[in-house]
């Protein structure tokens, strides 16, 4: 068994929390960059806009309603992905700050 003092355990836990926080920040940035407004979403929005214009030109109200609902759903999708990315980055920053705070509370005088 490895003998760990209280100080060693605090350092180990705060180091782990720091690494997890750093990974959360990286994952949040990845989500914001990759899933925010991707090319697939842009393409689908463009096709939906064309479909809605065609429905207005041919006076097909069901088609226009469906197209507007699809555009609303796309906006929700982008907003949700952005929210998840911001949440992950915020959580990561809180974890990093809390790990730093724990390290600052360790008494280094008796080493």
Query: Does the predicted TM-score (pTM) go above 0.85?
Result: no
Do 38 and 78 touch, CB atoms closer than 8 A? Answer: no
Do 55 and 67 touch, CB atoms closer than 8 A? Answer: yes
Dump pLDDT digits (tens) for 40-98: 666 766 766 676 666 666 666 666 677 677 777 777 777 787 888 899 999 999 999 99
């Amino acid at each position: 068994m490895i003998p760990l003092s209280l100080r060693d355990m605090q350092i180990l836990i705060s180091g782990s929390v720091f690494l997890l926080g750093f990974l959360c920040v990286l994952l949040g940035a990845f989500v914001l960059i990759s899933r925010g407004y991707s090319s697939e979403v842009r393409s689908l929005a463009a096709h939906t806009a064309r479909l809605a214009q065609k429905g207005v030109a041919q006076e097909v109200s069901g088609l226009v309603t469906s197209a507007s609902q699809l555009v609303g759903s796309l906006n929700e999708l982008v907003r949700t992905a952005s929210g998840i990315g911001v949440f992950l980055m915020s959580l990561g920053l809180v974890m990093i700050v809390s790990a730093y705070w724990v390290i600052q509370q360790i008494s280094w005088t008796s080493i």
